[in-house]
Amino acid sequence: MKKNLLPALSCLFLIAVVFNLNAQTASSSKIFMPLDIRQAYEKGTRNYDGTPGKNLWQNTCKYQIQVAMNPETRELNGNESVVYWNNGPDTIKSIIFNTYLDVYKKGNPRATQIDQETDGVTLGSVLIDGDTVKEKDFSNASTYRKVSLKKYLNPHSSCKLEVKWSVIFNDIIGREGFVDNTSAFIALWYPKIAVYDDLFSWNRNNYTTKDEFYSPLSTYDVSISLPKGFLVWATGTLQNPGNYPDLINERIKEATSGSKTEVIIDSSTILNPNEIGKEPWRFHADSVPDFAFAFSNHFLWDATSLTLKTKKVLISTVYPKEQLPYFKDATKEARNTIEIYSNEDPGIEFPYNRFTTFYGGMGMEYPMMAFDCVLQDSAIDAYVVIHEMLHTYVPFYLRTNETKFAWLDEGLTHFYTLKMLKKQKYDMDYLNKTLAEIFYSGIDGIGNLPLITPTTYMGTDNWLGMGYVKPEQMYSALEDQLGPGVWQKCFASFVQTWKYESPMPYDFFFFVENYTGKDLFWFWDAWFMHYGYPDLSVQKVNNGTVTIENKGGLPIPFTLVITDEKGRQTEQTYHADRWRKGNKFEIKLTALKPTKIEVKCDLVNDYNLKDNTWKN
């Protein structure tokens, strides 16, 4: 028996070895990978098949915050207690926490000019595990503080930080601030522990108003004190709905019982200020990377609901009466998008039980909240509402690193926003033309960089083009290459596999390859590792063939339209893999006497159309 068993065991061992070798995809062995990222694979925190490794970990936080907001002076005073868990293998010798609103402090670097400087964030006291942190223990950058620990934080242990602080808010400058004297969106407002992860240890990034954020997965219990008469909307679920007068609770109940948009507060609603906010507003949120809130004593409020497989989502829009013409459809647009995205394309259920769009700002996302501008253009305003809401999935549900990899959240969200607008019958020709004027800046020349370039190394002149336009082009080419059905299933599986776990670019590359069984090295290499732009041309027509050249170097799909002497047209469609083996190829003509040959790039816009057409 033993002799017969040995060959079988040897065979099983060989199969296991081959399986493990195959787990390293074709791209993982060829594609350029920085040392810090390669080390993550060597440590087993990430797998070459694009899945989380058995050793993957993430540090988490539990916040308890009490905050008092004075709308008259615009001053916020806060007191927070944060338990920080070190779930990884490293011994942590210091803690870094962000004070984002120090960006407005006089002398601090900023990517944009501002008219209102402040004193920034004033720390009253900081305690770690009960010990007072003295000034000499701090090492300050412009928008984060590093605190050396007297007692190191060992693996699989925790520490407790207690911080008192105050800050004064400006008018809206970008991502937060006062809309008017009694209405504001409060974000970036509390000292927030930075991310320490398996790739880069501490995420040390000075906020300059350009780059966005990367935050630990956290639980929040937040108590917000405001004068009576102010309503509050926030990340999480309100724990004391008795702070609403009965009329509002009744209307919220109506909104959650059907699919119609209901008026919670309109210009004719009369409320007793003394019946609103009798006690601090208390909110609880689980598994979110950030917390924001907004307040007003006169904004209008619409709401509806959507029942999904595992939850009911309350969808709200809050805005001043002057903006009614531009926000009247916002609640419906958000609901339609959540329904399509959850049930159809790509089929990923909305992860939270509520979402609120609040008027103002430049268009900015937070968990369960958005701070949205109005450009007085119904199509563009719908784009903003849908785009910021879709950020719920990326970065928040996936918890991606926006600071370094904007293409992974902004580009993906831009891609899906355009799909949602098309499904809701908006004029896409108009939208694409108008959005191009907003986003294309900086990528029609030397600012068009390889997509792998970290966002922090981009400037204000090209980060919109590199964060939105170029990655949207890449996702369009990729979906066309794989086929819409395969892409939808692949992306949905990627999100379910990586939810909350912070995937980065190489996880995405390898997952797509492993799921589809395709070697896409040629695609990733061209789009991410090299300079390139979409530019095809008809190089020559000769002896019954046409030579097409990829002058820009990026693999993109196209359609060859051939017109013969009788005006008849034939079309030949090609996917991005046509460029897998080189940037020129010949196509045999179906028309014996062609009079016109045109290269059409409908999915990815060609940057130079002057050489796309040949005429006899």
Residue 301 lies in a domain: no
Specify if 105 maps to a domain. Answer: yes
Looking at residue 163, its pLDDT comes to 97
Question: How high is the pLDDT of residue 4?
Answer: 47
Q: How many domains does the chain have?
A: 2
Domain membership of residue 188 (yes or no) is yes
C-beta pairs of 265-273 under 8 Å, 24+ apart in sequence: 265/231, 265/299, 265/300, 265/301, 266/300, 267/300, 267/321, 271/245, 271/247, 272/245, 273/228, 273/229, 273/297
Q: What pLDDT sits at residue 90?
A: 97
Query: Mean pLDDT over residues 295-316, rounded?
Result: 98
| Structure confidence at residue 116 as a pLDDT band (50, 70, 90) | confident
Specify the pLDDT at position 9: 38
Note the pLDDT tens digit of each residue in 194-214: 999 999 999 999 999 999 999
Helix (H) or strand (E) holding 253: helix 246-255
Q: In the predicted model, is pLDDT for residue 28 greater than 60? A: yes
Instruction: Provide the pLDDT confidence category of residue 2 given band limits of 50, 70 and 90.
Output: very low
The residue whose two tokens read 């079309």 is 571
Distance of CA 491 to the CA centre of its chain: 15
13: pLDDT strictly greater than 60: no
Partners of 283 in beta bridges = 222, 238
Q: Give the pLDDT score at 323.
A: 95
pLDDT at 136: 81
| 206 inside domain | yes
Q: Is residue 169 part of a domain?
A: yes
pLDDT top residue among 167 and 26: 167
Segment 487-515 shows an average pLDDT of 98
Among residues 252, 271, 296, the one where a domain terminates is 296
Other beta carbons less than 10 A from residue 344's beta carbon? 10
Q: Which pLDDT score is estimated for 613?
A: 97
Any domain includes 186 = yes
Average pLDDT for 413-419 = 97
Q: What is the CATH number of the domain that holds 82?
A: 2.60.40.1730
pLDDT at residue 591 greater than cutoff 90: no
pLDDT at 247: 97
Contact 332, 321 (CB under 8 A): no
CA torsion sign for 324, 349, 408, 491 is negative
| Bridge partner list, 177 | 185
Tens-place pLDDT, residues 274-298? 999 999 999 999 999 999 999 999 9
* 245 within a domain of the structure (yes/no): no
| pLDDT at site 14 | 39
**419-456 CB burial, b ≥16 within 10 A, e <16:** bbbeeeebeeeebeebbeeebbbbbeeeebbbbbbebe
Mean pLDDT, residues 96-124:
93
Percent of the chain residues past pLDDT 70, beyond the cut: 96
Q: What is the pLDDT of residue 23?
A: 54
Over residues 56-73, mean pLDDT: 98
Domain boundary, last residue among 296, 330, 364: 296
**Residue 128 falls inside a structural domain:** yes
* Separation between Cα atoms, residue 207 and residue 215, nearest integer Å: 13
pLDDT in tens, 535-582: 999 999 988 899 999 999 999 999 999 999 888 999 999 999 999 999
Q: What pLDDT band is residue 8 in, cutting at 50, 70 and 90?
A: very low
Q: Among 266, 296, 326, which residue terminates a domain?
A: 296
Q: What are the two backbone dihedrals, phi and then psi, of residue 432, each rounded to the nearest 5 degrees?
A: -60, -40
Average pLDDT, the chain: 93
Q: Which domain holds residue 87?
A: 57-240+281-296
CATH number of residue 600's parent domain:
2.60.40
The more confidently predicted of residues 461 and 339 is 339
- Contact present, 370 and 357 (Cβ < 8 Å): yes
- Token duo for residue 565: 């002497």
